[in-house]
Structure 1
Amino acid sequence: MARTPVLAAGGIVLRRDAPQRFAVVRLRKRNEWVLPKGKLDDGETPRAAAEREVLEETGHDVEVHEFLGTVVYDSGGRSKVVHYWRMDAGGKPVRALMSDIREVDWLSLDEALDRLSRGYERAFLENVGPIALQAAANAERERRARARVAAAERRRSRVVEEEPGVDTPAHPEAPTVAEIPAVAEASVDAKTPVAVDTPAPAEVPVMAETSDVAGAPAADASEESPSSAREIESVATAVRPIPRRNLIERVRDWLRRAA
């Protein structure tokens, strides 16, 4: 009867260096160099177990990223299934190594392949190592791009905060009450004449024959001009201009007689 396989999880762990390096750990009992991994606890998910085991075996807090693959091999007469995720480790360790681990080392891909003691782990890392490096490089470029955008946003925010405030009226085109000149109200009586300054008309001589003015008294040069509005009205009514047609006919008659 087949025995239940042992479930384990681990990480292909890269430290944020230039160039980036892979974590390999040295077992205390067997003195072997292996990839960091460990068995799942009861009720634990493979991903959670991978993060916990890497922290215990490397001493570094990590960020878990994409799933890279599974390695299956025989261990003590039972199949052991190990799931691996790509992980990023912080710069400094945050805890001591667990008792089963003697030391941890950070190596380039080629150095890690030479250091690993087990052939199936070397084969797995040889296949997924370049994928992990490329994914980490892409993630680093995206992180730097986001950092540049965030820095630009902070600079713009500081510039806006440092600019002095400008008070603008709610309606800039509308003058305020103080700007409108006051207009004095004047009551005008309809019966009161309004004096308007207009230039005096030029004096035009009027040619008239006394015989055409019916009932018009002869003007006396020695008499004073009327001063009252009634006298002015009577004079204006009595003196009327000679129609233009009668004058032209009389001139023609005079010319015929003179000829």
Structure 2
Amino acid sequence: MWRRSPVDGGLELCLVHRPKYDDWSWPKGKLKPGEEPLAAALREVREETGHTAAPGAELPTQHYWANGRPKQVRYWAAEAGPGAFTPTKEVDRILWLSPPAARDRLTHPRDRTLVDALLDALHGT
């Protein structure tokens, strides 16, 4: 999820802190039975950040192993809409960061490639 800074108009990306893993990542979650991936992505953004979002281009799908099982996570560039964050046991903090700061803050190297993919999508390349 991205937005224009209310302070200077610069691009900001939203990262979430998950206390269970003590990591910084993109909002993400699991599909509910019968749920379409894009609908799940928008639902998870809303649940984890408190913001609605307008979907844009699909970003690269991430494939990795977690707890001995293969995982596939699909992402979209999504512009932040109205909302307000409320901490939960799943996500206790969010940060709005410039792209370089977001790249540095992301815990998992695989998540850093999505910063460039998002920037490419926003610049129409």
| Same structural fold, with TM-score higher than 0.5 when normalized by the shorter chain | yes
Kept in 1, the 8 Å contact 2:57–2:121? The answer is no
Kept in 2, the 8 Å contact 1:23–1:35? The answer is yes
The structure with more strand, counted as a fraction of residues: 2
Kept in 2, the 8 Å contact 1:60–1:89? The answer is yes
Identify the residue that residue 73 of structure 1 maps to in structure 2. Answer: 64
SS in 2 for 1:53: helix
Q: State the Cα distance separating 1:92 from its structure 2 match.
A: 4.2
Tell me the percent identity: 38
Q: Does 1:41 align with 2:32?
A: yes
Is there any run of 5+ residues in structure 2 with no aligned partner, and where? Answer: none
2:121 maps to which of 121, 129, 132:
132
SS in 2 for 1:117: coil
- Whole-Å Cα distance in 1 between the matches of residues 116 and 15 of structure 2? 16
Q: Deviations over 1:82-119 (max 9, x none)?
A: 001110102542x6344300100000110000000001
SS in 1 for 2:86: coil
Residues 120, 102 of structure 1: alpha-carbon distance in 2 compared, 3 angstrom cutoff: same
- Whole-Å Cα distance in 1 between the matches of residues 82 and 34 of structure 2? 31
The alignment of Structure 1 onto Structure 2 pairs a total of residues equal to: 121
Identify the residue that residue 73 of structure 2 maps to in structure 1. Answer: 82
Which protein is bigger by CA-based radius of gyration? 1
- Whole-Å Cα distance in 1 between the matches of residues 116 and 24 of structure 2? 18
The structure with more helix, counted as a fraction of residues: 1
Residues 54, 62 of structure 1: alpha-carbon distance in 2 compared, 3 angstrom cutoff: same
TM-score (norm 1): 0.44
- Whole-Å Cα distance in 1 between the matches of residues 120 and 45 of structure 2? 19
Kept in 2, the 8 Å contact 1:32–1:117? The answer is yes
Residues 65, 15 of structure 1: alpha-carbon distance in 2 compared, 3 angstrom cutoff: same
**Stretches (4+) displaced over 6 A:** none
| Structure with greater contact order relative to length (CA < 8 Å, sep ≥ 6) | 2
Q: State the Cα distance separating 1:44 from its structure 2 match.
A: 0.6
Residues 71, 107 of structure 1: alpha-carbon distance in 2 compared, 3 angstrom cutoff: same
2:3 maps to which of 4, 12, 15:
15
Kept in 1, the 8 Å contact 2:2–2:14? The answer is yes
